[in-house]
A and B are shown apart, each in its own frame.
Chain A
Amino acid sequence: MRPNTDDREWKKGSAELLILSLVRDQARHGYDISKLIEARSNGALKFHVTSLYPLLYRLEERTWIEGRWVEKPGQRRRRYYRITAEGRKVLARQCQSWQEFVGAVKNITGIDYA
């Protein structure tokens, strides 16, 4: 199941936006994030360990998200990620440019999802 080149480019462009959106409203751990991406894209987008975590660490380094170990009784400890104030700003900006981009594509190609 090697991802084709198109998939790769799509992922690259949207990965940050996707992750920020998913941790916007609640803190999530890495596995949860990867499952949600897969489920909500109906399997079109997949992130596995080696693609997901470096990305999470990079976002953390930029202080857009922050990770914290949480221990719950009867479970192994997990690292949960939540968005920071700065991350929120970035997300808002990215959403906006994404919408503009989609709008532009629609205008040019005539594709309409509505």
Chain B
Amino acid sequence: MHEWKSEILQRLKGSRLAPAREAAIVDEWVQHLEDRFEELRRDGLSEHEARKTVLAEFNETDLLPLDLGPPAPHPPVQAGANKSGNWLVDLWHDLRYGLRAMRKNPAFTAVVVLTLGFGIGANTTVYTVVNALVLNPLPVERPSELVAVYETDKNRANVPVSYPNLEDIAQKNQSFTAVAGYTSILPLTFLSGSGTERVFAELVTGNYFETLGIRPALGRFFLPEESSTPDTHAVAVISNGAWQRRFGGASEILGRTVNLSNLTFTIVGVAPDGFRGVNAIFGPDFWIPAMMARAVEHRDVLNQRAGFDFHAAARLKPGVTSRQAQANLKAIGASLEKEYPEANLGRTLALGPLSEAALGDMKTSVLFGSTILMIIVGLVLLIACSNVSNLLLSRAAARKHEIAARLALGASRSRLMRQLLTESMLLGLIGGAVGLFLASQGGHLLWSALPSEFAKNLATLKVDTHVLVFALAVSLLTGLVFGIVPAARSSRTDIVEVLKEETRTAGRGRRGINFRNVLLSGQVALSLVSLATAALFLRAIEHAYMLDPGFDSRHLALIMTSPGQAGYDRTRSDQFYRDAAARVSGLAGIQSVTWASNLPFWNRATRSILIESREKRTTSDAIATIVNNVDLNYFATMGIPFRNGRDFTELDRDGSVPVAIVNETLASRYWPNQDPLGKRFKFSGDNFYRQVIGVVKTANYQSLGEDPQPCIYLPFRQNFSNAMVMYVRTAGRPESVLTGVQREIRAIDPLIFTDDTRTGGKLIDQVLFNSKMIVGLLAVFGILALGLACVGLYGIMAYSVNQRRREIGVRMALGAAQSNVMGLVLRQGMRLVAVGTAIGLALCFLIGSTLSATLYGVSATDPISLIGASMLLAIVAALACYLPARRASRVDPLTALRDA
């Protein structure tokens, strides 16, 4: 009703309300008065009376002053708070304000939080692994004092030391408070009520735990007398994990006996939780005194000065630097070489951080993998940051009015910037929380891909304080990185300009777009780098599978047996090997059966040799070689071709002339341009010569595509071993015969452990496992990077189409066809993609030289990888541009022009 309106306006005069606000109030009050009027009429009042009553009620001087400040969507800027200097109060206000702003825009918040979550999650996942394996691998006392002591010879750096050398180092040095030794992990057979099981043990010197500064969780560690006389004290310390797993964590474990490889050990102590030995990756179930070596290993490890059986860990004396210790070790090495030239010729001693020794053989691959993954997830995070930065810049355009209003109300620019940064940090923190969740899930997923047979002995991933601090730091830093540019830009907002509603002025907007374009091209470049890296490694793996390992890995089944661990002596073992081979040969689908002491790719150069007539060796002769004891028919079964000479026969046995077959690498190194057949050599420590009767092709012994290594094959009948691997060549799939083979062996003796089996294919898989793991992660992160970059591309294209609606409308009104408009937008987007791709390719070439050393037979500029990655990127990017382009082509010129 008209008169209500004029009454209300009269009443509101002087309130100086914004026109829109005033209209809303009038609307609301008119409705109220109208309702009241109608009610009075229904109550029977005449129209006149009713109107009079309504107006009287309306004009009542009321208890509340007419105070009609507009309901601000946000609390007013705390202009005065600056003066108070109470930053905590400011922070609190900023945080609340930030949270409210997020609630107001849930879609925006969700996109930002998820983008950051993925970026931070990827980083935290990789960091969790790096933290567990590389940064904090050893839960020991004062880890900085601990060093690893190695032997180094001409060909190989950092190999373990022999027990006699270890003892001499411990006695002769002036640098260490203690020197301890531990062997690599030995697989043993654990005999329990339910059957046989594979467990792992380490032989350690008596002072091992004390040197590391470890205290038992239960019981004690080794006593001096248990570590001084060989073969007398069968005691063991059990790992915390094995104690929980096998004995339910019962305290009665102390004094209990366990049967390990047919020896009875008494458990005297339990290692503390989290201690898995020096090796950070794989830990034993039991620690056994080194003095029990002969009984456990059936080798005279303790007296073999030429061996490489013990890793040495030493604790520096207070005040001794590692440089001084290094000099000291060098002197000891020289004296050991002089004193025992036969064993130690060409060997020196060296020292390194124990944390590196903790990675053992996997040091290179773990460090390399960690580095490259950290770099790639860093790129992913950068892309995420630039994405969010772009989103914030777009939103800043939408919030221009709010910001201008606050500046006009007296908020200082620095105060405003702090407010905006608080908002980004808050977003960063929430993203970080999501990231932490994703990382813990990712870690589980990653670890579940590990081979289950080893899983229980592997390092565990945990989200500890280090990881939490990392995630927090990354989140805050991320918030700062993506927030700083938008905040700085927003706080520079020109108040007058904005309040005059000049939103379409080109200057500032254009600059904003340009900066966003730079960010976008950067994202495209970085995601191309991640994709190309993943593609290169993928190609390398593919290539690795095609590499020739030097033997035929197809149709090959392997069964590890250890009659020695079942208590067999030499006679019984020999009988077992013969019986088992005979029984298995009789099975259907078996082409040939043989035995060898080594598993393919699990070889290690262990012995150095002396050539007849050249006993006065030069250091270049002092090369350690791989030794493999093999049965008849080994080379035929493995598909290793002979280059010269003959295979072993039944006649090559104890009592006949000791013979050997060598590989080409060894032959050409020791007898270059000569016929090696008939030449003689002996192992250091042996007192007899062996005659070379054959030369075979060099194979891969430790990894695929490795540098050629010398290898000597000995006839198993002249060189007994109480643990052998059965090699079975099958006609069909090797998996199908395994059960039958195991059954035949168990039929001979159920106590012989047969559960550890491999096929040729699985061997190759295992050799490539680390690389495959890294490639898998690289692929995931590459795709994540691509996804994030394309979401960013889509966002900016959609925003730009929206900004240019008027221009597009004009173009269409002037006769541009839909396809022209679409082409225009697509060209704009794809130009950015092209620039980004060019930069990305340039980066790939730059980092190529670093990568090439680690790629199996694939060039770092491999065209298939680079073109493939670029194509994938182009296709996905085109899709991201296509959607906004299609929207642009559907702009209705009329609407666009009218709205504008």
Give Cα A71 to B56, complex, Å.
Answer: 29
Give Cα A54 to B65, complex, Å.
Answer: 8
Q: Is the CB of A11 within 8 A of B32?
A: no
Which of A30, A49, A51 gathers the greatest number of chain B CB atoms within 10 Å? A49
Q: Is the CB of B29 within 8 A of A53?
A: yes
Give Cα A71 to B171, complex, Å.
Answer: 94
B29: which of A3, A49, A51, A60 is its contact (CB, 8 Å)? A49
Interface string of B68-94 (1 = CB under 8 A from A): 110110000000000000000000000
Which of B11, B34, B71 gathers the greatest number of chain A CB atoms within 10 Å? B71
Interface residues of A in 24-62 (CB under 8 A from B): 29-31, 34, 48-51, 53-55, 57-58, 60-61
A48: which of B25, B28, B58, B72 is its contact (CB, 8 Å)? B58
Q: Is the CB of B28 within 8 A of A53?
A: yes
Min distance, Cβ A73 to any Cβ of chain B, angstroms: 16
Give the residues in chain A near B32, CB-CB below 8 Å: 30-31, 34, 49, 53
B250 part of interface (Cβ distance < 8 Å): no
Give Cα A30 to B36, complex, Å.
Answer: 11
A1 part of interface (Cβ distance < 8 Å): yes
Q: Is the CB of B11 within 8 A of A79?
A: no
Min distance, Cβ B752 to any Cβ of chain A, angstroms: 70
B62 part of interface (Cβ distance < 8 Å): yes
Q: Is the CB of B27 within 8 A of A49?
A: no
B63: which of A1, A3, A49 is its contact (CB, 8 Å)? A3
Min distance, Cβ A74 to any Cβ of chain B, angstroms: 14
Q: Is the CB of B66 within 8 A of A54?
A: yes
Give the residues in chain A near B24, CB-CB below 8 Å: 79
Give the residues in chain B near A50, CB-CB below 8 Å: 11, 58, 60, 62, 64, 66
Q: Which residue of B lies closest to A60 (CB)?
A: B71
Interface string of A68-84 (1 = CB under 8 A from B): 00000000111100000
Q: Is the CB of B67 within 8 A of A54?
A: yes
Contacts A50-B58, A76-B31: A31 and B68 contacting too (C-beta < 8 A)?
A: no
Min distance, Cβ B39 to any Cβ of chain A, angstroms: 8
Min distance, Cβ B17 to any Cβ of chain A, angstroms: 11
Give the residues in chain B near A48, CB-CB below 8 Å: 57-58, 60, 62
Give Cα A34 to B11, complex, Å.
Answer: 20
Interface residues of B in 16-48 (CB under 8 A from A): 24-25, 27-29, 31-36
Give Cα A3 to B61, complex, Å.
Answer: 9
Give Cα A63 to B359, complex, Å.
Answer: 58
Min distance, Cβ A89 to any Cβ of chain B, angstroms: 14
Min distance, Cβ A37 to any Cβ of chain B, angstroms: 13
A8 part of interface (Cβ distance < 8 Å): yes
Contacts A3-B63, A11-B63, A12-B63: A49 and B71 contacting too (C-beta < 8 A)?
A: no
Give the residues in chain B near A30, CB-CB below 8 Å: 28, 32
Give Cα A2 to B57, complex, Å.
Answer: 9
Give the residues in chain B near A61, CB-CB below 8 Å: 69, 71-72
Q: Is the CB of B60 within 8 A of A1?
A: yes
B64: which of A2, A31, A51, A78 is its contact (CB, 8 Å)? A51
Give the residues in chain A near B58, CB-CB below 8 Å: 48-50
Q: Is the CB of B71 within 8 A of A31?
A: no
Give Cα A17 to B24, complex, Å.
Answer: 25
Give Cα A113 to B28, complex, Å.
Answer: 38
Give the residues in chain B near A55, CB-CB below 8 Å: 64
Give the residues in chain A near B29, CB-CB below 8 Å: 49, 53
Q: Is the CB of B35 within 8 A of A31?
A: yes
Interface residues of A in 62-114 (CB under 8 A from B): 67, 76-79
Give Cα A70 to B11, complex, Å.
Answer: 25
Q: Is the CB of B68 within 8 A of A57?
A: yes
Q: Is the CB of B66 within 8 A of A49?
A: no
Give the residues in chain A near B25, CB-CB below 8 Å: 53
A31: which of B36, B57, B62, B63 is its contact (CB, 8 Å)? B36
Give the residues in chain A near B11, CB-CB below 8 Å: 50
Interface residues of A in 10-27 (CB under 8 A from B): 11-12
Q: Is the CB of A31 within 8 A of B67?
A: no
Give the residues in chain A near B63, CB-CB below 8 Å: 3, 8, 11-12, 51
Give Cα A67 to B27, complex, Å.
Answer: 14
Min distance, Cβ B26 to any Cβ of chain A, angstroms: 11
Q: Which residue of B lies closest to A77 (CB)?
A: B27
Interface residues of B in 306-349 (CB under 8 A from A): none
Give Cα A67 to B24, complex, Å.
Answer: 12
Min distance, Cβ A72 to any Cβ of chain B, angstroms: 12
A51: which of B36, B62, B68, B72 is its contact (CB, 8 Å)? B62
Min distance, Cβ A86 to any Cβ of chain B, angstroms: 10
Contacts A50-B66, A54-B66, A57-B71: A31 and B60 contacting too (C-beta < 8 A)?
A: no
Min distance, Cβ B788 to any Cβ of chain A, angstroms: 33
Give the residues in chain B near A51, CB-CB below 8 Å: 62-64
Q: Which residue of A lies closest to B29 (CB)?
A: A49
Give Cα A29 to B57, complex, Å.
Answer: 19
Give the residues in chain B near A78, CB-CB below 8 Å: 28, 31
Give Cα A77 to B34, complex, Å.
Answer: 13
30 A–B pairs (Cβ distance < 8 Å), ordered by A = A1-B56, A1-B60, A3-B60, A11-B63, A29-B31, A31-B31, A34-B32, A48-B57, A48-B58, A49-B29, A49-B58, A50-B11, A50-B58, A50-B62, A51-B62, A51-B64, A53-B28, A53-B29, A54-B66, A54-B67, A57-B68, A57-B71, A58-B67, A61-B69, A67-B71, A76-B31, A76-B34, A77-B27, A78-B28, A79-B27
11 additional contacts (CB under 8 A) given A12-B63, A50-B64, A79-B28: A1-B57, A11-B63, A12-B64, A48-B57, A48-B58, A50-B58, A55-B64, A67-B71, A76-B31, A77-B31, A78-B28
Instruction: List the 3 closest pairs (A to B, CB-CB), nearest first.
Output: A31-B35, A51-B62, A60-B71
